[in-house]
């Protein structure tokens, strides 16, 4: 038996004992046709209530048209039309890796308008519990999804952002490893004359990032003024090496060269001149400071591999190349240099960035603060609480 009309936009199915409500979403902007959707209720009062709420929301502009758009389809559109046009290549690569390796296999087939906060919460939990990803890594997944859903709301695809209604993983400060002055001096002695000497000294004596070291060119090294300029970086995005400007304006900076570093750079320039004369037209002179023997700029990941191997072969305490940058900050702090000046040398965007990274590292128990205020703290006697 066909449905019979009960009242405007509501009909009743005798066989199924259900009330059907026809919801009108207005014309499709592309086709001009009316977009309609029906939903069912067991009671007439529920059907009337749903119809009133829908019509009130439509008049107030608080509804979105139903669309058969999956999360995978939206992420593809968002990446192509928004992110790839406005973000760095490295950021695009990182987003694509998260999307294709994790989000699409887990949630990609879900209609974007039907994704609930509970699904996202379960997704985050599975990443931590089953795939053993850190909370910091899972937080990156959340930030990506939050941005993608926010864009969907802005474009009228979603009414609200489901990622805003979940308990996002709390990021934890990564454990920072760094060398004492003694260990750094030992490393500097051992690496003298080796192919990583310049790499170590730029990181340990000036606090440069890996990408800043790999992006340094000879035309920004001034032996007359004993200074060098950080104006470009070279970094890896998967198998692609990208040369670009530093991320922030404050990362562009001019730094004084200590005599030990300047001496190492002069010897590196002489070594490159020797290889250039020996190889002739086979030498690739792109002007970079840190290169292979044939002049090609060194691949960033290979530079890290060389450093790690050197540390292991010489039985030095484990540390990453970036750990030498942390060592620079730690030793500078121990010498009484203000946090502001340390951050400026490191190229941080603001003093708060330096504090966020290093406060817990440089003075974890505020011992220095207390000693400056009160002198040496009294020895606690037995029985005191």
**Using DSSP, how many helices (H) and how many strands (E) does the chain show?**
16, 9
Q: How is residue 41 written in tokens?
A: 């209720």
CB contact set of 349 (below 8 Å; sequence gap of 6+): 248, 250, 251
Chain centroid to Cα 298, Å, comes to: 24
CATH 1.10.443.10 fits 181-367, yes or no: yes
**DSSP state string for 161-200:** -GGGGS-PPPP-PPPP----HHHHHHHHHHHTTSTTHHHH
Q: What is the pLDDT of residues 198-215, one digit of tens each?
A: 999 999 999 999 999 999
Q: Please choose, from the candidates 160, 222, 199, 182, the residue with its C-alpha nearest in 3D space to the C-alpha of residue 291.
A: 199
Q: Domain 71-165, what fold? A: DNA polymerase; domain 1 (1.10.150)
- Spans of all domains in the chain: 4-59, 71-165, 181-367
Question: pTM for the whole thing?
Answer: 0.74
Q: Nearest-5° angle of CA 123, CA 129, CA 167? A: 50
When the pLDDT of each residue in the chain is averaged and rounded to a whole number, the result is 88
Q: What is the pLDDT of residues 28-56, one digit of tens each?
A: 766 778 778 788 889 999 989 988 888 88
The answer to whether the beta carbons of residues 33 and 65 sit under 8 Å apart is: no
DSSP 217: B
Whether 232 has a pLDDT exceeding 70, the answer reads yes
pLDDT of residue 375: 58
- Between 250 and 2, name the one with better pLDDT: 250
Q: Which residue reads 């608080």 in tokens?
A: 62
Q: What is the pLDDT of residues 241-270, one digit of tens each?
A: 999 998 888 899 999 999 999 999 999 999
CB contact set of 277 (below 8 Å; sequence gap of 6+): none
- CB hemisphere CA count around 186 (13 angstroms): 11
């Amino acid at each position: 038996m066909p449905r019979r009309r009960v009242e405007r936009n509501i009909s009743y199915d005798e066989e199924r004992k259900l009330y059907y409500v026809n919801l009108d979403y207005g014309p499709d902007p592309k086709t001009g046709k009316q977009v309609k959707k029906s939903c069912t209720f067991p009671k007439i009062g529920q059907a009337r209530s749903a119809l009133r709420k829908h019509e009130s929301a439509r008049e107030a502009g608080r509804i979105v048209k139903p669309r058969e758009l999956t999360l995978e389809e939206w992420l593809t559109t968002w990446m192509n039309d928004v992110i790839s046009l406005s973000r760095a290549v490295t950021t695009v690569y990182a987003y694509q890796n998260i999307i294709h390796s994790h989000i699409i296999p887990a949630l990609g087939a879900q209609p974007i308008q039907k994704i609930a906060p509970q699904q996202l919460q379960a997704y985050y939990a599975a990443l931590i519990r089953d795939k053993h990803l850190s909370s910091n890594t899972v937080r990156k997944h959340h930030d990506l999804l939050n941005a993608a859903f926010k864009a969907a709301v802005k474009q009228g695809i979603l009414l609200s952002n489901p990622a805003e209604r979940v308990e996002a993983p709390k990021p934890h400060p990564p454990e920072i490893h760094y060398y004492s002055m003694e260990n750094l001096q030992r490393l500097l002695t051992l690496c003298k004359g080796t192919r990583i000497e310049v790499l170590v000294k730029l990181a340990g004596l000036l606090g440069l990032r890996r990408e800043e070291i790999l992006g340094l060119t000879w035309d920004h090294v001034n032996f007359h003024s004993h200074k060098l300029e950080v104006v470009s970086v070279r970094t890896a995005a998967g198998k692609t090496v990208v040369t670009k400007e530093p991320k922030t304006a404050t990362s562009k900076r001019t730094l004084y060269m200590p005599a030990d570093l300047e001496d190492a750079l002069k010897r590196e320039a002489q070594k490159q001149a020797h290889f250039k004369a020996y190889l002739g037209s086979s030498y690739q002179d792109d002007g970079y400071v840190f290169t292979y023997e044939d002049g090609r700029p060194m691949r960033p990941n290979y530079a890290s591999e060389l450093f790690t191997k050197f540390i292991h072969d010489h039985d030095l305490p484990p540390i990453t190349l970036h750990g030498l940058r942390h060592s620079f900050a730690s030793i500078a702090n121990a010498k009484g240099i203000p946090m502001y000046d340390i951050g400026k040398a490191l190229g941080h965007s603001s003093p708060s960035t330096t504090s966020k990274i290093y406060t817990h590292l440089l003075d974890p128990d505020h011992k220095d603060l207390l000693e400056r205020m009160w002198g040496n703290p009294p020895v606690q006697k037995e029985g005191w609480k």
